[in-house]
């Protein structure tokens, strides 16, 4: 592989040259991950909005490489639960990941297979280190797009299945205008 450069907008996280097309995830792709499937169905029926999109500027999945790119989580709620990413463990569970907040603000919800839970709020200019073994989900509780740069080992892989079937132990919902972490009633 040869060295290369690629444009990357520090505010929006978008690759404007169009060399990389973002992957978009809509409510219909995550209906069962929200605590209120009826609210999710309502959102689907009224246009199925994009919850988030991410661009992986490099990922050739080989050992020794670094995958990197950006995630944009849009502001909004499904019922009283904020827009969020699906979340995943890395298939090679020990693989860590670094995030750097470019704009907006939000949370990273993390948990281990053993049941440890950690919620970190990140703002522009802050880096977040997600150690290996911690599943991670980004949540936008703000009013602006929440944009983060990410870097992780290219061979990490993504295990979505565990989260899809069991969900996270905790949820972040809005109560009296403020975000609070509650137990996931489905866990
Ligand atoms: C890669 C990583 C991020 C996410 C992205 C979308 O390991 O953590 O690039 O892939 O934020 O979230 P998911 O993958 O959970 O849909
Ligand atoms: Zn990851």
Q: Which two tokens stand for residue 45?
A: 């029926």
Q: Per residue of the chain (187 residues), what is the pLDDT tens digit?
A: 899 899 989 888 899 998 898 999 999 999 989 999 999 999 999 999 999 999 998 878 899 999 999 999 999 999 999 999 999 999 999 999 999 999 999 999 999 999 999 999 999 999 999 999 999 999 999 999 999 999 999 999 999 998 888 799 999 999 999 999 999 998 8
The residues with which 72 forms a beta bridge, in sequence order, are 53, 147
What pLDDT does 60 receive? 84
Q: Are 54 and 23 in contact (CB under 8 A)?
A: yes
Q: CB count, 10 Å around CB of 11?
A: 11
CATH of 23-183, one of 3.30.70.360, 2.60.120.10, 1.10.357.10, 3.40.640.10: 2.60.120.10
Write down the domain spans for the chain.
23-183
Q: Which ligand lies nearest to the CA atom of residue 131 in the structure?
A: 2
What pLDDT does 132 receive? 98
Q: Are 174 and 115 in contact (CB under 8 A)?
A: no
What pLDDT does 145 receive? 97
Q: Which ligand lies nearest to the CA atom of residue 54 in the structure?
A: 1
As a whole number of Å, the end-to-end CA separation of the chain is 44
What's the distance, CA 88 to chain centroid?
9
- Using alpha carbons, select from 143, 12, 141 the residue that is nearest to residue 69: 12
Determine whether the shortest distance from the Cβ of 88 to ligand 1 is under 6 A: yes
Whole-model pTM: value is 0.97
Helix (H) or strand (E) holding 66: strand 66-73
Determine whether the shortest distance from the Cβ of 68 to ligand 1 is under 6 A: no
ipTM: 0.99
């Amino acid at each position: 592989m040869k060295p290369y450069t690629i444009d990357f907008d520090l505010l929006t996280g978008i690759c404007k040259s169009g060399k990389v097309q973002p992957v978009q995830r809509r409510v219909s792709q995550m209906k069962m991950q929200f605590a209120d499937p009826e609210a999710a169905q309502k959102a689907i029926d009224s246009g199925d909005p994009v919850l988030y999109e991410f661009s992986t500027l490099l990922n050739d999945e080989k050992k020794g490489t670094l995958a990197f790119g950006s995630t944009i989580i849009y502001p909004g709620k499904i019922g009283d639960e904020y827009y969020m990413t699906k979340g995943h463990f890395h298939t090679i569970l020990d693989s860590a990941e670094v995030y750097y907040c470019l704009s907006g603000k939000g949370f990273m919800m993390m948990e281990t297979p053993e049941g440890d839970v950690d919620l970190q709020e990140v703002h522009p200019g802050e880096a977040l280190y997600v150690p290996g073994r911690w599943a991670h989900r980004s949540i936008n509780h703000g009013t602006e797009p929440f944009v983060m740069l990410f870097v992780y080992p290219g061979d990490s892989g993504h295990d979505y299945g565990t989260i899809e079937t069991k969900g996270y132990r905790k949820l972040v919902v809005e109560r009296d205008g403020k975000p609070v972490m509650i137990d996931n009633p489905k866990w």
